[in-house]
């Protein structure tokens, strides 16, 4: 298989569609409860990702971002719902039937140290997916690996080094080269710069942007940090307790968050004083603990921490609903339309 076998999707077409995706983990019964309990890591997520765009996914630790990312590329089985990739329903495919789909969708992990085999040389790590997917003979694989190293800003001298001999930023470049090896259309990047020094983060984010232009890539970019996703995302999905509570264009989301949770997250992002007269954002401090995904609140999952919660919020679960301006919000009393 070569990268040329893959057709480039037309920019703007839906490349990935998730419909009501759930991922539940059964918990072992403990001494306090005789019932089997369920952790709802992802609880009814629907979204579309269009070819060539970057969809950012943000939310606090434990809200289900990584689990959703793994569902989207079928690295884990779904409990319910459907994922279509490039026009094909991949949600129920067996390992064998997923095999031809795999080269088209790749995951880049948060911690390059942990996701790269420490006993293998960098060149072999990048060659592995090529060998698995029978890219070509040994010489073709070597050429392709050298090309990928060049593309991500590593040199031929790096091919024989082991992961520990690289800096954090360089290790993430190896992870990116490996993800690119099979010529994917979609890359799900799960906090790809969170483990890096701030000074290195910008370089790796720029690399992501350059690669997207060069290879017409589509990204799902996961981060807990709204500052990071803002720079890379065309649209942003905000997650809370396993569901999407707001999905909007990046500028729109930052200008006028509609969900109280989005507003709270944004007000926690430090603002740089750019000397303009714009009044600083009102600060909303999130109070209370994030509820457990095992004991979700009734009604709106955010109501226990929401400064605007009213009676209806405890009674009725708000659904993610499109508004007139094209964004979607799951709130009975959105702050913007």
Ligand X SMILES: Nc1ncnc2c1ncn2[C@@H]1O[C@H](COP(=O)(O)OP(=O)(O)OP(=O)(O)O)[C@@H](O)[C@H]1O
Closer CB to ligand X, 86 or 191, in the complex: 191
Does 263 engage in binding with Mg ion (CB under 5 A)?
A: no
> Which x/- pattern over 19-58 shows residues binding Mg ion (rule: CB under 5 A)?
----------------------------------------
Contact 114, 120 (CB under 8 A): no
Tokens of 47: 């979204």
The verdict on 61 binding ligand X (CB under 6 A) reads yes
- Residue 33: burial class (beta carbons within 10 Å; 0-12, 13-18, 19+): exposed
If binding is defined by CB under 6 A, does position 192 make contact with ligand X? no
Contact string 216-245 vs ligand X (x = CB under 6 A):
--------x---------------------
Report which secondary-structure segment, H or E, holds 126: helix 122-132
189, 217 contact by CB (below 8 A)? no
Give the span between the Cα atoms of 78 and 5, in whole angstroms: 29
Among 65-73, 153-161, 310-318, 321-329, the segment contacting ligand X (CB under 6 A)? 65-73
The answer to whether 66 contacts Mg ion (rule: CB under 5 A) is yes
Distance (Å) of CA 142 to CA 21, 74, 150 = 39, 29, 12
* Binding mask of the shown chain, residues 153 to 192, with x at each position contacting Mg ion by CB under 5 A: ----------------------------------------
In 3D space, the residue among 167, 173, 158 whose CA is nearest the CA of residue 208 turns out to be: 173
Q: How far apart are CB 18 and ligand X at their closest, in Å?
A: 14
Stretch that binds ligand X, among 54-62, 91-99, 127-135, 181-189 (CB under 6 A): 54-62
Pick from 16, 18, 54, 65 the residue near ligand X by CB under 6 A.
65
Decide if 70 contacts 152 (C-beta within 8 A). no
- The residues, any chain, with a CB within 8 Å of residue 58's CB and separated by 6 or more, are 65, 222, 223, 224, 225, 226, 229, 236, 237, 238, 239, 265
d(CA 79, CA 67): 12
Query: How many Å apart are CA 334 and CA 29, to the nearest integer?
Result: 38
Q: Between residue 67 and residue 86, which ones bind ligand X under the rule CB under 6 A?
A: 67
How many chain residues are in contact with Mg ion, going by CB under 5 A? 1
Query: CA of 239: how far to CAs of 210, 261, 329, in Å?
Result: 27, 9, 11
Our finding on whether 64 is near ligand X (CB under 6 A) is: yes
Q: Quick check: 41 binds ligand X (CB under 6 A)? A: yes
Provide φ and ψ at 174, rounded to 5°: -65, -45
| Contact pick of 13, 25, 97, 255 for ligand X (by CB under 6 A) | 25
Q: Which is nearer to Mg ion, 58 or 176 (CB)?
A: 58
Among 54, 66, 115, 233, the residue binding ligand X under the rule CB under 6 A is 66
39 in contact with ligand X (CB under 6 A): yes
**262 binds ligand X per the rule CB under 6 A:** no
Alpha carbon distance 317, 82 (integer Å)? 22
Let me know the angle formed at the C-alpha of 295 by 290 and 300, rounded to the nearest 5 degrees. 65
From the list Mg ion, ligand X, none, partner contacted by residue 196 (C-beta under 5 to 8 A by kind): none
Interaction partner, residue 122 (Mg ion, ligand X, none; CB < 5-8 Å by kind): none
Residue 61 C-beta: closest distance to ligand X, Å: 3
Nearer to Mg ion, 86 or 191 (CB): 191
Per CB under 6 A, residues contacting ligand X are 25, 39, 41, 59, 61-67, 224, 293
Per CB under 5 A, residues contacting Mg ion are 66
């Amino acid at each position: 298989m070569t990268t040329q076998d893959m057709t480039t999707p037309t920019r703007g077409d839906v490349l990935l569609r998730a419909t009501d995706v759930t991922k539940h983990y059964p918990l072992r019964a403990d001494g306090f409860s005789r019932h089997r309990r369920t952790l709802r890591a992802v609880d009814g997520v629907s979204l579309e990702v269009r070819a060539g765009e970057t969809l950012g996914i943000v939310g606090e630790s434990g809200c289900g971002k990584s689990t959703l990312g793994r569902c989207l590329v079928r690295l884990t089985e779904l409990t319910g719902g459907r994922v279509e990739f490039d026009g094909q329903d991949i949600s129920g495919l067996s390992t064998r039937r997923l095999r031809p789909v795999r080269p088209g969708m790749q995951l880049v992990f948060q911690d390059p140290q942990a996701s790269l085999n420490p006993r293998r040389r960098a060149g072999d790590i990048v060659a592995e997916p090529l060998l698995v997917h029978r890219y070509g003979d040994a010489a073709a694989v070597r050429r392709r690996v050298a090309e990928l190293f060049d593309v991500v800003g590593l040199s031929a001298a790096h091919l024989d080094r082991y992961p520990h001999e690289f800096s954090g930023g360089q290790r993430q470049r190896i992870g990116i080269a490996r993800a690119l090896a099979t010529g994917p259309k979609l890359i799900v990047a799960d906090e790809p710069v969170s483990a890096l020094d701030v000074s290195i983060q910008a370089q790796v984010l720029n690399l992501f942007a350059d690669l997207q232009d060069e290879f017409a890539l589509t990204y799902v970019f996961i981060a807990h940090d709204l500052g990071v996703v803002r720079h890379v995302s065309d649209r942003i999905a905000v997650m809370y307790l396993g569901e999407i509570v707001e999905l909007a264009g990046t500028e729109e989301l930052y200008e006028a968050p509609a969900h109280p949770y989005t507003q709270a997250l944004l007000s926690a992002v430090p603002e740089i004083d750019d000397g303009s007269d714009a009044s600083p954002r009102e600060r909303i401090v999130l109070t209370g603990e994030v509820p457990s995904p095992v004991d979700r609140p009734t009604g709106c999952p955010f109501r226990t921490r929401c400064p605007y919660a009213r009676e209806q919020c405890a009674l009725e679960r708000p659904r993610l609903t499109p508004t007139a301006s094209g964004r979607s919000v799951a709130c009975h009393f959105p702050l913007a339309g």
